[in-house]
Amino acid sequence: MRDLGVRVGHWTGEHTGCTVLLFEEAVLASGEVRGGAPASREIELLDPLRSNAGIDAVLLTGGSAFGLAAADGVMQWLAERGRGVATPGGTVPIVPALGLYDLDGTGTAPAAAQGYEACDAAMAPFEPALDGPIGAGRGATVGQWRGVTLPSGLRTATVSAGPVVVAALAAVNAFGEPGPLDRGLLRPEGFASGTFGRNTTIGVVVTNARLDKVECALVSQGAHDGLAKAVSPVIHTRMDGDAFIAAATGAVPANVDVVRALAVEAVAEAISSGA
């Protein structure tokens, strides 16, 4: 993603992890939460009605709501470098964060130190791996809808149309799984099992298009369409926290409908790449 002005870094533990996306400069962004039980931080300011005019980073983390503490480390890392909104008391970095459920009973979750470490990792000379059981995808799984637990992880894809580029990075922790729905395996008892409600797919879509905040919101909706296209059954239940953030670096003029269509394909392609 460095071609888009984004550096990605991970902290990967034994059963959980976190991933940070650092923008070279503050970018316009918005997002959409469709799950009924999100673990999130600073998401309200992404609403186009809010005054925020740019974010400095995005954190994707395991550890459910506990893992959101890793954003403190990201903020510290950015503040030490003078990044953020200027206030009378100093700069305040803007770091929206999304968490997924991968708790395993050990009490382990990413904290501030791990968020800071992920930022350091993002500054390495070479871009790290972006696919597999790493970072925020370390403890991600799929398939519980049919009574199995299959390993998943981070997934990424980049698509383009002429000069317009859209990249998607998602931590796929879905109740369903990539691929078409096998209705023969769909049983009510699967939806009543102990694993139901422990799933969340979270991600970020980054484009080089010049979009305003409302248009970023539309692109984040397209990201959810990509999730629905790739995962079956995809159900934003009352107990899931599915959420996507869309950020625009603003280098290329573009029609928002083109960008949204590309976002659908980028997310679907990213998730399907792990099937």
Short-list 177, 188, 183, CA closest to 151 = 177
Mean per-residue pLDDT for 105-130? 95
pLDDT confidence of residue 275: 58
* 178, β-bridge pairs: 231
Band (145; pLDDT cuts 50, 70, 90): confident
Residue 68, classified by CB atoms within 10 Å of its CB into exposed (0-12), middle (13-18) or buried (19+), is: buried
Q: Are 92 and 85 in contact (CB under 8 A)?
A: yes
The DSSP element (H or E) to which 218 belongs, if any, is helix 213-230
Task: List the chain domain ranges.
Answer: 2-272
pLDDT confidence of residue 75: 98
For residues 63 and 61, what is the distance between their CA atoms, to the nearest angstrom? 7
Mean per-residue pLDDT for 254-272? 97
Residue with tokens 């950020």: 247
Residue 190 has pLDDT above 70, yes or no: no
For residues 27 and 96, what is the distance between their CA atoms, to the nearest angstrom? 12
Average pLDDT for the chain? 92
For residues 9 and 120, what is the distance between their CA atoms, to the nearest angstrom? 7
Band (1; pLDDT cuts 50, 70, 90): confident
Residue 14, classified by CB atoms within 10 Å of its CB into exposed (0-12), middle (13-18) or buried (19+), is: exposed
Please give the radius of gyration of the chain, using alpha carbons only, rounded to the nearest integer. Answer: 17
pLDDT confidence of residue 274: 63
Mean per-residue pLDDT for 1-21? 96
Compare 182 and 194 and report the one with higher pLDDT: 182
Three-state DSSP class for residue 50? coil
Compare 199 and 134 and report the one with higher pLDDT: 134
Q: What is the DSSP secondary-structure string of 89-142? A: TEEE----EEE-----SS-----HHHHHHHHHHHTSSSPPP-SBS-GGGTT-EE
Residue 193 has pLDDT above 70, yes or no: no
For 273, other C-beta atoms within 10 Å of its C-beta total 14
Q: State how far the alpha carbon of 224 is from the alpha carbons of 90, 122, 151, 173, 267, in Å.
A: 36, 26, 21, 14, 8
Mean per-residue pLDDT for 4-24? 97
2-272 is classed CATH 3.40.50.300:
no
Mean per-residue pLDDT for 123-146? 93
